[in-house]
Structures are given as C-alpha cells and as structure tokens.
Amino acid sequence: MDTSALKKELVELVEGASDMATLENVRVTALGKKGRITDLMKTLGAMSPDERKSAGAELNVLKDEISDLIEKQASQLKAQEMDSRLANEILDVTLSPRPERRGTIHPISQTMDELVTIFADMGFEVAEGPDIEDDFHNFTALNFPLGHPAREMHDTFYLPNDERKDGEAQKKVLRTHTSTVQIRHMMQNKPPVKMICFGRCYRSDWDMTHTPVFHQMEALYIDKNVTMAHLKGCLSDFVRAFFDIDDLPVRFRPSFFPFTEPSAEVDIGYWKENGELKLGRAPNPENQKWLEILGSGMVHPNVLRNCGLDPEVYQGFAFGMGLERATMLKYGIPDLRSMFESDTRWLTHYGFDPLNRPNRATK
Ligand code: PHE
C-alpha cells in the first residue's frame, strides 16, 4: 500500500492549521471514526495475510506520525496563543489600585502606630505579653490583695484549670489589663527599663461604653531617679502630641490602683460648642470640662520587690490607657461597638490609608 500521497496531504493539513479549532477538524479528518486513516484500516480485513501484514504496519506508522505531528502543532499553537496574550493583555503595574478595592487600616491600629512614633521619640521600646495570663501576673505580682473585687468571677474571665498542675498562682485568666506586661518585662530586663505595650484585654462588661474585649496601652519607665515630675512631664507631652493640641489642658487627679503609689487619673480638657464636644482649652474658663483618659502612678514598692528590684534603688512610673476611648475622642467616632463589627462601610469611612502610615519622619 502506498500511503505517501495521503501522508503528504495530511502533513500539509496539520501544518497549515493556524488555530486549535482547525487543528481539531484535521484530527477528525485523519484519525476520527470516519477519518481517512481509519477508513484505510477498515480495508485490512479484506486483504490476504501477507498484504495485511505490510499494509497494517505502514498504516500504523502513518497513524503514529500524524498523531505526533498533531500534538506538536497543538503545543506550538498554544505557545503562540500565550505569546499573543502576553503581548496584548499588558498589565500596567504602575497604575494605582482601584480605590473601591483598597482596604483600610482600622482606627485602633492607626492609634497604635501613632503611639509608637510618639513614644519612640521619647526612647521607649515596644514589648508584648500573652492574652491568656495567670493569676500571678494579672493580680498577685501587681499587689492585688486576695478578695479584691477585680478577682471576682463576674468581673474576670477565668479559664478551666488543670487540676493536676495548677495551683492558685497558675490559675488561667484572660488578662484584665496590660499591666501584666510590666511584670513580665521587669522580670526579664534590667533597669533602666522604658517600654510601652499594646494588647487586647478582657472584662465581663457589656453596655454602651464597655465591650468584653478592648485594647489598652501600657507604659513603664524604671530607673534610679525617676520621680512624679517625670510622670507628669511625659504624660502631658504625650497627650498633647497624640491629640495634636499644643495647649491641651491636662489634669492629674489623685486615685487608687493596687500597683501604684501614689496613683493619679489623668483628665484632658474639653468644652461644648453648640452641643458638640471640643477637645482643648475652653475660650471661657467657666465652660472648661474634664474627661478621664488614663490611669497612672509611681510603681508600688511591692511590685518592684515582686520583680526582684530594690525599691530603695529603683523607682519608676507606669500608666495604662484604653485605646478605643482615646481613638473615639481623637477621630470623633460615636459608638464603641462599631469598632468590632467589621462593617466595611464603617471601615471605609473611619479607616486609614494603608500606604501612608505614621512614622517618626512624617508626624
Ligand atoms: N491597669 C490599670 C487599668 O486597667 C491602668 C493603670 C496602668 C493604672 C498602670 C496605673 C498604672 O485600669
């Protein structure tokens, strides 16, 4: 059987196929159920054994050659197609992302970044501690007496105990404040210590102004000659920088915390104009009002002792601030709960540009 004419014809068809659809038609023409080669295969049955042997072998070779050729042509066509797509569908990576698809930085994260830049300028480093704490770090080391109301079940989230190894000191709690990190940091670092820390805190509260989870910032400064004057200077500078009001009135009001002595609550000044809250010095002193924003004090000698420091040698101050409240005041956010709802409309409105983060050079 002479198949050279057929071969020539089929090779031309395959090589002439300039797209995948045409190539598929050629494949059907050559190798399909009613294809040219298939038709010839069907004639083998009528041949003499000798003829069948040589014609069969020739047809099989032809079939393999044409299949290989079709495969080769297919991969060439696919490569060409890819090349032309790459050439035509050019992506301009220098274009800015479409605004509707850009995420925003949550106001709490924005506040943390701003606080880092302010305290970095004053020489503070950033520390961390775990959300799941033990009784020792959350209460005992911080000089909370047994029976203190904060230790009650209805104020604090306790975790199930492992009866075999957990004594009272290891009782697990979701930390109720970031003051736990003071203890961890003092036990691990020699003074001078100058740190801030951020973290989630948990209390069994739920109303207009309290959620069971919220954020705090803690600051701690321990050295040989730290006094209440440092506390007042540092805190006044910080709140004025944070709220970006140079003459923001700052008031220190005596208070109590088990882990500081003396303790002071810090208030900032505001007044009302047409019912709207304005931070700052009231134009008429009679209208000056005060808002509490944080708790502070000189670290209690017992706390220093609990961390292995001699209170005759070292002193220092600490303070803790709720980040939600500070953020709401700074950016005029009315409802605390909206902070945790992940509503993208809220985030788009109150969120911040991810490509323009606060830093020490731009603030
Ligand atoms: N831990 C206190 C609170 O949660 C705040 C505080 C921190 C007060 C450090 C004084 C010193 O309310």
Residues 285, 322 within the same domain? yes
The CB of 219 under 6 Å from ligand 1? The reply is no
Residue nearest to atom 9 of ligand 1 (CA): 319
Residues 355, 290 within the same domain? yes
Residues 59, 178 within the same domain? no
pLDDT at 30 over 60: yes
Q: Which atom of ligand 1 is nearest to the CA of 142?
A: 1
Q: What's the CA gap between 93 and 26, in Å, rounded?
A: 41
How many angstroms separate the alpha carbon of residue 320 from the centre of ligand 1? 4
Q: Is 248 inside any structural domain?
A: yes
pLDDT number for residue 99: 62
Q: How large is the average pLDDT for residues 239-251?
A: 96
pLDDT band for 162, please (50, 70, 90 cuts).
low
Q: Which two tokens stand for residue 343?
A: 């509503």
Residue nearest to atom 6 of ligand 1 (CA): 320
Residues 111, 189 within the same domain? yes
pLDDT at 67 over 90: yes
DSSP class of 105: B
Q: Which alpha helices (H) appear in the chain, and where do they start and end?
A: 4-16, 20-31, 36-43, 49-88, 107-121, 135-138, 180-188, 228-243, 301-306, 323-331, 344-350
- Tell me what the pLDDT averaged over the chain comes to: 92
pLDDT number for residue 149: 82
Q: What's the CA gap between 297 and 257, in Å, rounded?
A: 8
Q: Is 262 inside any structural domain?
A: yes
Q: Which atom of ligand 1 is nearest to the CA of 182?
A: 9
How many angstroms separate the alpha carbon of residue 179 from the centre of ligand 1? 6
The CB of 35 under 6 Å from ligand 1? The reply is no
Q: What's the CA gap between 108 and 105, in Å, rounded?
A: 8
Task: From 88, 116, 137, give the residue that closes a domain.
Answer: 88
Q: Is 97 inside any structural domain?
A: no
pLDDT number for residue 55: 92
The CB of 319 under 6 Å from ligand 1? The reply is yes
What CATH number did the domain enclosing 169 receive?
3.30.930.10
Strands in the chain per DSSP E: 125-127, 132-134, 172-174, 193-202, 213-223, 250-257, 260-273, 276-279, 289-299, 315-322
| Single pTM value for the model | 0.72
Residues 81, 118 within the same domain? no
Cβ–Cβ under 8 Å, residues 358 and 109: no
Q: Which two tokens stand for residue 320?
A: 């803790």
The CB of 202 under 6 Å from ligand 1? The reply is no
pLDDT number for residue 362: 65
The CB of 195 under 6 Å from ligand 1? The reply is no
How many angstroms separate the alpha carbon of residue 42 from the centre of ligand 1? 93
How many angstroms separate the alpha carbon of residue 237 from the centre of ligand 1? 19
Q: Which of 270-274, 281-285, 344-348, 353-357 has the lowest mean pLDDT?
A: 353-357
Q: Which of 9-13, 149-153, 305-309 has the lowest mean pLDDT?
A: 149-153
Q: Is 75 inside any structural domain?
A: yes
The CB of 140 under 6 Å from ligand 1? The reply is no
pLDDT number for residue 101: 66
pLDDT at 95 over 90: no
Q: Which two tokens stand for residue 75?
A: 């991969």
Residues 249, 337 within the same domain? yes
Domains held by the chain: number: 2
Residues 239, 309 within the same domain? yes
pLDDT number for residue 94: 85
Q: How large is the average pLDDT for residues 142-150?
A: 88
Residue nearest to atom 4 of ligand 1 (CA): 177
Q: Which of 66-75, 132-141, 143-152, 350-359 has the lowest mean pLDDT?
A: 143-152
Q: How large is the average pLDDT for residues 277-289?
A: 95
96-136 per-position pLDDT tens digit:
777 666 789 999 999 999 999 999 999 999 999 999 999 99
Residues 202, 72 within the same domain? no
Q: Is 96 inside any structural domain?
A: no
Residues 75, 132 within the same domain? no
The CB of 111 under 6 Å from ligand 1? The reply is no
pLDDT band for 151, please (50, 70, 90 cuts).
confident
163-220 per-position pLDDT tens digit:
656 666 678 999 999 999 999 999 999 999 999 999 999 999 888 778 899 999 999 9
Backbone angles phi, psi at 272, to 5 degrees: -115, 135
Distances (CA, A) of 97 to 93, 94, 353: 9, 9, 12
Distances (CA, A) of 28 to 14, 59, 74, 320, 359: 11, 16, 14, 79, 67
Q: Which two tokens stand for residue 248?
A: 């923001």
Give the domain extent around 25.
4-88
How many angstroms separate the alpha carbon of residue 58 from the centre of ligand 1? 93
Q: Is 318 inside any structural domain?
A: yes
Query: Which 3 state secondary structure label does DSSP give 80?
Result: helix
Cβ–Cβ under 8 Å, residues 30 and 13: yes
Q: What's the CA gap between 21 and 78, in Å, rounded?
A: 12
Q: How large is the average pLDDT for residues 278-305?
A: 97
Choose the residue to mutate in 182, 222, 257 for probing ligand 1, maximizing ligand atoms within 8 Å of C-beta.
257
In terms of Cβ atoms closer than 10 Å to its own Cβ (0-12, 13-18, 19+), residue 356 is exposed
pLDDT at 363 over 60: no
Q: How large is the average pLDDT for residues 47-73?
A: 94
Nearest to 111 by CA among 230, 246, 214: 214
The three-point CA angle 356-361-362 to 5° equals 45
Amino acid at 245: I
Residues 250, 178 within the same domain? yes
Residue nearest to atom 5 of ligand 1 (CA): 320
pLDDT number for residue 121: 94
Query: Which 3 state secondary structure label does DSSP give 21?
Result: helix
The CB of 297 under 6 Å from ligand 1? The reply is yes
The CB of 177 under 6 Å from ligand 1? The reply is yes
Q: What's the CA gap between 196 and 200, in Å, rounded?
A: 14
Q: Which two tokens stand for residue 226?
A: 């730290």
Q: Which of 155-169, 223-237, 240-254 has the lowest mean pLDDT?
A: 155-169
pLDDT number for residue 323: 97
Residues 137, 35 within the same domain? no
Residue nearest to atom 2 of ligand 1 (CA): 320
**Prior bond of 192 cis (ω within 30°):** yes
Q: Is 93 inside any structural domain?
A: no
pLDDT band for 355, please (50, 70, 90 cuts).
confident
Q: How large is the average pLDDT for residues 147-169?
A: 76
Task: From 88, 116, 131, give the residue that closes a domain.
Answer: 88
Better-scored residue on pLDDT, 150 or 41: 41
Q: Is 100 inside any structural domain?
A: no
The CB of 318 under 6 Å from ligand 1? The reply is yes
Residues 299, 353 within the same domain? yes
pLDDT band for 359, please (50, 70, 90 cuts).
confident
Q: How large is the average pLDDT for residues 7-31?
A: 95
How many angstroms separate the alpha carbon of residue 155 from the centre of ligand 1? 16
